[in-house]
Amino acid sequence: MSLSLEGIGATLSSEDGYTKVVQLVPGGPAAKDGRLQAGDKIIAVAQEGEAPVDIIDMSVSNVVKLIRGKEGITFNTEYASEGTKVVLSVLTKKGAGVPESIEITRAKVELKESEAAGVVKMIKTPDGKEFKAGIITLPRFYIDFKAAAQGDPNYKSSTRDIKKILEKFAIAKVDGVIMDLRFNGGGSLAEAITLTGLFIKDGPIVQVRAYNRNVVVKNDPDSAIDYAGPLVVLTNKMTSSAAEIFAGAIKDYKRGILVGDTRTYGKGTVLEVVELSNLLRYVNQEFPAGSLKFESAVFYRINGSSTQELGITPDLVLPSMTEHMEIGEMYSDNHLPWDSINNVNHDIYDENLDKYIEDLKKASSSRIGESTDFRRIQENIELYQKYKDRKSVSLNEKVRWAEYKQEKKAADAQEKVYGEMSETNSEEDKKDINATDPVIKEAVFVLNDYIEIKKSQK
């Protein structure tokens, strides 16, 4: 949650018993060293001055512990390894099967790619006027608890970062803001509350019911509002936990328009972790005993509806690949079911918002029907469903190879639509609405429609 860790800065996965490097964190020790590359396979790990440990068939979590170094003893898992060296035995992609030894000095790695980011994009409205949209991307709700507790005035948090972005948007005089929470897996509950507070004056944000049925209402801690203009929130089935709390509060206050898949993930429970070692003192024992993770409470929106299982329903639904995947809490075994409690009083920021939705849907549907990008997405969805629903696979090599090429073609096309179109080279390209993914592009148009409809109703 602090967006930093100590180690070498590499994302790892397991493949056929090998630990494979998936990607390197930009600016991390491994990336700066330059020898370790994505696709390389690590077969052994040695601490400085010690014999290497064979890691073939070892779990990724244990490999990570070896690479990061000496581990601390708290649940927060702090590592005391900065400045020490680790030696990796690596089968490189370019090598001839002979392991290469790569020594890397561990350091603090800043997870910059998970920070909130903001950009201003321009579009031309049908009447030829320029429209500015401020777009914020938030991959997770983060906060450096340790720095905050120590009184560091510059401690890292998603709310503080987005507050700064909104200040820049105000200087740029944006016409509206889009909050992109697609693939946001949640994080700090406190951050979800304070972030919502940037968009409302004051009031309740979420209700929490504990195992004993007692309900606590969590409120916006201050009465300031940092952005009071038009707002669109983007979600999908991977939007989870704290992100669902934010999206649910925005919807209940009618503070903005939700756009995305038919629902969010549906993770509406409070996870609690208890270090079992702390309990051993009651029986005069001391040894590593692991920890126990369990659900101890349930989140409810201020309208009384749980965010559990069913998630948050958007106002507008856009075509997407995630919509057709079996993603969400409802697919977890023995998950807690959706339920509801009493609502709590709260303000309404746009009494007429529900009246605008039908017109917004019609305008959006018309654009999507004429969009080449969404047509490609729809073709990929149909191909995905074709292979997802089939009950057999050909054992004929030629037929199977032809099927594989079709599947890969769909995957490559999807990656191009959502990847390359947003990975532009220049700052001007980043501001160009045509150089972005189609969902963001449509969200900007929805935002503009919303503003124009409101103007026409005055």
Q: Active-site residue numbers?
A: 241, 252, 267
Phi-psi region of 429 (alpha: psi -120 to 50; beta: other; left: phi over 0): alpha
Dihedral Cα 168, 125, 371, 328, nearest 10 deg: 40
Interatomic CA distance for residues 430 and 414, integer angstroms: 20
CB-based contact 341:207 (threshold 8 Å): yes
CB-based contact 304:343 (threshold 8 Å): yes
- Cross-sheet strand order for the sheet of 204-210: 215-219, 204-210, 291-300, 269-275
CB-based contact 18:41 (threshold 8 Å): yes
Residue type, 16: D
**DSSP state string for 174-195:** -SEEEEE-TT---B-HHHHHHH
Specify which residues 88 forms β-bridges with: 45, 102
Interatomic CA distance for residues 9 and 28, integer angstroms: 5
- The bridge status of strand 291-300 relative to strand 41-47 is unpaired
What are the strands, taking DSSP E only, across 254-406?
Answer: 257-260, 269-275, 291-300, 316-317
Spatial CA neighbour of 363 closest among 263, 257, 437, 458:
257
Interatomic CA distance for residues 323 and 261, integer angstroms: 5
By three-state DSSP, how is residue 248 classified? helix
By three-state DSSP, how is residue 63 classified? helix
Q: Which residue has 């023995």 as its token pair?
A: 334
